Amino acid sequence: MDQTKRAADPAVTVALSYLGISLLWILLSDALLLFLGVPAPLLSTLNMVKGIGFVLVTAAMLYFYLRREFNVRFRLQSLLQEQLEQVQATQQGLRQSEERFRKAVEEAPLPILIFAEDGEILSISRTWLEITGYSQDQLTSLDEWTELAYGERKQVIRSVIDKLFSLDHRVDEGEFTIRCADGEQRIWTFSSTPLGQLPDGRRIVSSMAADVTERKKNESQRRRLQDEIHQQNQFLHMLIESSPLGIVSFDKAGAVTLWNPSMGELLGWRSEEVIGQRVPLMRQEDRAEFAEVARRIDRGETIEGLDVQRMRKDGGIIDLSISAGPLYDRAGQFVGVIAMLKDITERKRMENALRETEVRFRQLAENIRDVFYLNDAGKRKTWYISPAYESIWGRSCESLYQNPLSFVEAVHPDDRENVFASFAEQRQGKAVAVTYRIVRPDQTIRWIRSRAYPVFDDNGALHRIAGVAEDITDQVQSENRLRRLSQRLVTVLDDERARIARELHDQVGQELTAIGINMGIIEMHTRGNAQTAPHVEDATELVSTVIQRLRTLISDLRPLALDEMGLHAALRWYCERFSLRTGIPVSLQGDWETLNLTPAVNNTLYQIATEALTNVGKHAHARHADITLEMNEQHLALSIRDDGSGFDVDEALNAAYRNNWGIQIMQERVNALIGSLLVIESTPGAGTLVRVEAPL
């Protein structure tokens, strides 16, 4: 309306001016004509001139007026055009500035968000989206952002954001934990700045964030490391203070920088006496040694287990084992020495005693006829072998040091399996005894009895295997001769028993039978004689009893059933008589039908079985006994078992050779059978087993 009004003003001015001039011209010209008294004929001409003059005057006036007006309008239009161009240029600059600002925000290396007070997100940086993992379509408003990033805390966060619009300066909001699209929790610090108002009047704010998640992690890790270092320092301090080893450190000048309580116990100086001081630990004769150690440490070497002697505060000398090494600062520069000291006085005393013992041991080992050896637990190394090895094996000791198992090469092939089996038992920590033959280089055969004993360390682990190998060739030969004598003795004994049995049966038995017949005749003739009949009857019964005992004695000496019907029948006959006599039932078990043994074996097994049953009847207080025969293609085993009171086998065997001829005879009979073995097993209260094993 103002513009229309301004445009209409010149037209009104022109119209009013024209109207005024016209009226003034008419009135003045008519008044002038009347005043001059112009005659009527000239009046029309003058009116025409007056009209032309009026037109010319008004035309001139309009020309000058309109020219001025048009000039003004032209200047105004030019000015407006110029201002319009300036406005357009300004708007273009604003658009470019806005675009640059938008790009600057979007491409900013930090998370930046610009939002209005109604919650609209106006601009968001790509970094914000990349870190959070959300898309721009997901973040069009503050409600969407707070819902995604803060979850249940969104209302609290929104109230904090709403307060930003009333600010007139930048504010640091602090740290907030946001949730990313992948669920990861990250820590951001926010700072916000008010940006004024939009043309529509809405207030806007720019918030910039810094992701401090890694810094927080690093700070947490650094605190944890600091705590660990502190704990380690405390532990190290406690370890040093409570260590039974003396721990000391020196700077480059030799002054003490660390001295734990154990050092005071070892050398007599307290820490407050020596810290920062040079301690006179060395004697004059130790200085060269110390100088060499110092040079080695200065070269970066570590000294371990160096045995030295040092001087105590009281002037005494102590044996120490020293381990030492260089100390460096963070720059790697040598700054001193740290050392650990251990009192080895007792160890030195024991080493001296051990050396003396080793000397005596070597003197003993090198002068005995038996072989003494010491191996590691796996028999991979020989620590010692006595010189007797060379005289018995005919091989050098050096060969055994080079190959600890080389002695097996001399073992008779038939005995190697037993030797290797003994190795397995030795590795299990068992004491083992094994007998075997060796073949010397001159092809002579020697019998060896080896006894190995485990040696355990302080932790109970097998550490060494010590043993003695004894040449028992003479003993074996003596035992063989004794066995042959035993065989001869048993044969002679059996022959003598058979001869006595035959003589008792053929002579004494017949004579007693004749006496019995005669006593029967006498008894018939004296039946009516009251004085003699009782005596005759007693004599007759006595003769019958003697005949029965004689038969029993003959059977005990040599049962006829053994020769005529075999071992099974003889044992069955004896067991029946044994059960009648003692009331102890005896059962025979096994495959007796296929039994086919030599007379010598039959007789030995019979005598051992009857002797064992005799002991059962005398001592066992058993309720039952059984005899069992077991056989395979190469061996047989005869077992006599009872359920009696039992006994201590070792004690009984020791007593047997002093007082009990029964066990001794059983052993000799078994010894007479080459390859046989007698086993006696018993436990007090659990019965007894006597077992004979013999080759077929």
Find how far residue 262's CA is from the centre of its chain. Answer: 33
According to CATH, what is the number of the domain 567-696?
Answer: 3.30.565.10
Q: What pLDDT sits at residue 181? A: 92
How do residues 170-218 score in pLDDT, each as one tens digit?
A: 898 888 999 999 999 999 999 999 988 888 888 999 898 888 888 888 8
Q: Do domains 366-467 and 567-696 have the same CATH topology?
A: no
- For residues 432 and 452, is the Cβ–Cβ distance under 8 A? yes
**Stretch 118-122: mean pLDDT:** 89
Q: What is the mean pLDDT of the chain?
A: 81
**Stretch 126-155: mean pLDDT:** 90
**Stretch 666-674: mean pLDDT:** 75
How do residues 42-54 score in pLDDT, each as one tens digit?
A: 666 666 776 777 6
- The secondary element (H helix, E strand) that includes residue 130 is helix 126-132
Q: Which residue has the tokens 């300036």?
A: 86
How is residue 215 written in tokens? Answer: 């810094």
Q: What pLDDT sits at residue 195? A: 86
Q: What is the DSSP string of 44-86?
A: HHHHHHHHHHHHHHHHHHHHHHHHHHHHHHHHHHHHHHHHHHH
How is residue 508 written in tokens? Answer: 């004494």
Higher pLDDT, 639 or 495: 639
Other Cβ atoms closer than 10 A to 170: 11
Residues 6+ apart with CB under 8 A from 195: 114, 204, 205, 206
According to CATH, what is the number of the domain 107-211?
Answer: 3.30.450.20
- For residues 25 and 52, is the Cβ–Cβ distance under 8 A? no
User: Is residue 68 over pLDDT 80?
Assistant: no
The verdict on domain 243-348 having CATH code 3.40.50.10800 is: no
How do residues 408-450 score in pLDDT, each as one tens digit?
A: 888 999 999 988 898 888 888 888 899 999 999 999 999 999 9
**Stretch 399-408: mean pLDDT:** 86
Q: What pLDDT sits at residue 278? A: 78
* Whole-angstrom distance, CA of residue 675 vs CA of residue 658: 26
14 pLDDT band, cuts 50/70/90, is low
Read off the pTM.
Answer: 0.38
Q: Is the torsion defined by CA of 532, 537, 542, 544 positive or negative? A: positive
Q: Which residue has the tokens 């020697």?
A: 446
Higher pLDDT, 580 or 556: 580
Higher pLDDT, 564 or 646: 646
- Phi and psi, residue 75, nearest 5°: -65, -40
Q: How many residues appear in the chain?
A: 696
**Long-range Cβ contact pairs of 340-346 (< 8 A, separation 24 or more):** 340/243, 340/245, 340/246, 340/247, 341/245, 341/246, 341/247, 341/248, 341/263, 341/266, 341/310, 342/245, 342/246, 343/246, 343/266, 343/318, 343/319, 344/307, 344/319, 344/320, 345/318, 345/319
How is residue 203 written in tokens? Answer: 């207030």
Torsion of CA 443, 444, 449, 453, to 10 degrees: -40
Q: What pLDDT sits at residue 691? A: 92
- Phi and psi, residue 685, nearest 5°: 85, 0
* Whole-angstrom distance, CA of residue 557 vs CA of residue 17: 189
The superfamily in CATH containing domain 366-467 is PAS domain (3.30.450.20)
- For residues 145 and 192, is the Cβ–Cβ distance under 8 A? no
What Rg value do the Cα atoms of the chain yield, rounded? 67
Other Cβ atoms closer than 10 A to 326: 17
588 pLDDT band, cuts 50/70/90, is very high
**Stretch 522-532: mean pLDDT:** 73
149 pLDDT band, cuts 50/70/90, is very high
DSSP alpha helix (H) spans, 257-344: 261-267, 271-274, 287-298
Domain ranges, ordered by start, for the chain? 2-83, 107-211, 243-348, 366-467, 472-558, 567-696
* Whole-angstrom distance, CA of residue 650 vs CA of residue 416: 31
* Whole-angstrom distance, CA of residue 433 vs CA of residue 448: 10
